[in-house]
A and B are shown apart, each in its own frame.
Chain A
Amino acid sequence: MIFNITENNEAVKATVSGRLDTPAAVKAQQEIVPLLENAEKVITLDCEQLEYISSSGLRLFLTIRKEAAAKGGKVVIEHINDEIKKVFMMTGFFNLFEIR
């Protein structure tokens, strides 16, 4: 499981771990459904254990963000490693998420 999700009344937190490559991203499409259903809340993606993100992984993040924007929520990304920070920068997506 890539997205391990815990919910409470005001926020949802997902611990994202491993390699979010294309096959993992396909599997994770079902895993993110609870995040999309709670997109009016603050969604925190804890990426401390995320080693790698592919374009498919980025698309998953963008899907969550789009849903949050539509429902008035927001997405916070925590603890991303330097390589993933570079991916966000090189793709121009670095300001679409609140990265902590």
Chain B
Amino acid sequence: MVTYGLDPHGEMLLEEYRQQLPLYTRLQQVVMKKLNEMARQIGIDVNSMEARIKGESSLVGKLERKGYKYQSIRDITDIFGARIITFYNEDVDRMASMAESLFDIDWPNSVDKRKMHQFDSFGYNSLHYICQLPRSVYQDAEFPELNDIRFELQMRTALQHVWSAIQHDIGYKSEIETPMEYHRDLSRLAGMLELADNEFSRIRNSVSDYRRRAQSLLRSGRLEEVLLDRETFYSYIEMKPFNKLNRQIASITQAELHEASFAPYLIVLKQMGLNTLGDVERMIKDCYEDAYQLALFQLGSTDIDILAETIGLQNLCIVHILKAGKGKPGILQLFDTINGKKPQNDFMASTIIEQASRLPFFSGEKS
């Protein structure tokens, strides 16, 4: 066993640490499982959760510096430490609230570094809780002492974490050891990152507001005002706007409609210059009958009784493209977008042009 030349009290604490390592290991497993479960339950997407048990050499350093302060290894509250790194400031507070409901917090020894700065100073921002696992949350017959151990839970944003990690890496300790100009540089960066954290939160709130507004406009049928994007498109698809056309096409051969993804069509609609859900509604209205006629021409002489549920939208897009005079290149672009660039796309585009040229609506190029 390694010896470190500690005084007898330090040696006693070190021995206690070695004996209790299995207990700390078990505590780490339980706490991390509980934290992960709780974060999932309340729907917080964290950047990362990490945990460590203090290594022997790190503990020895601490015992050398201030071992006299501790009666027992249990008085050292960071033997096991966990860290939650969030994306946003608000999520630090939500995770803290979660920790308060999950653990017993030793408030006198917990500290919110975010509130410790003067109005004109910037630096380490993190929330440190000293916690214990209550018996009401977890009990272990094999390790009954598990609930008596205090541990440290740090919570901070990703940017706060970056600042802290770099500061640690540089070897910054105190103003005595490092020239003042470097402290000023680090403080300036801390201020900049605090500003960036606030900006990220503001942007997230703005995006949430935008989404709520778009959903509200969608529900009230003001589709002209709803910009076409991934979220509004999927909400719109849930309203089943192509169902009527799909059913009419399916009735040609009494076909069943098979589930298919609408996702590639969002890009197609944007390529077609449709910017709002109102534009999509107009396309349905303007191209509905011709899209049906195209399907009738294609399927009328077949006995195909299974179709993808994207068939209505597929035909609407084809008609819209041809009515806009974009001809075979436009159809080829449609297939390239949905299918990826494949040799058969050219054949399919030529087939569409040939079929459409027999229908009244087609006025595009016929080559």
The interface of chain A, by Cβ under 8 A from chain B, is: 54-55, 58-59, 62, 82, 85-87, 89-96, 99-100
Contacts and interface: CB of A to CB of B under 8 A. Distances in A.
A95 B347 CA distance: 14
A24 B348 CA distance: 27
A85 B344 contact: yes
A96 B309 CA distance: 12
Contacts of A91: 304, 306-308, 311
A95 B303 contact: no
B351 interface: yes
15 contacts: A54-B304, A55-B303, A58-B304, A62-B306, A90-B304, A91-B308, A91-B311, A92-B307, A92-B314, A93-B260, A94-B338, A94-B339, A95-B264, A95-B338, A96-B260
A92 to B, nearest CB: 3
Nearest to B249: A92
A82 B346 CA distance: 12
Contact of A58 (B299, B306, B311): B306
B298 interface: yes
Enumerate the 3 nearest inter-chain pairs by beta-carbon distance, A residue then B residue, closest first. Answer: A92-B308, A92-B311, A90-B298
B240 interface: no
Contacts of A95: 264, 338-339
B100 interface: no
Interface in B203-257: 255
Q: B264, B339, B347, B352 — which one has the most chain A CB atoms within 10 A of its CB? A: B339
Contacts of A94: 335, 338-339, 344, 348
Contact of B304 (A62, A87, A100): A87
Contacts of A87: 302, 304
B145 to A, nearest CB: 45
B259 to A, nearest CB: 9
Contact of B342 (A58, A86, A90, A99): A99
A98 to B, nearest CB: 8
A92 B260 contact: yes
A82 B258 contact: no
Contacts of A55: 255, 303-306
Contacts of B264: 95
Nearest to A82: B347
B303 A90 contact: no
A85 B310 contact: no
B299 to A, nearest CB: 6
B361 to A, nearest CB: 17
Interface in B288-323: 295, 298-299, 302-311, 314
Contacts of B307: 91-92
A99 B344 contact: yes
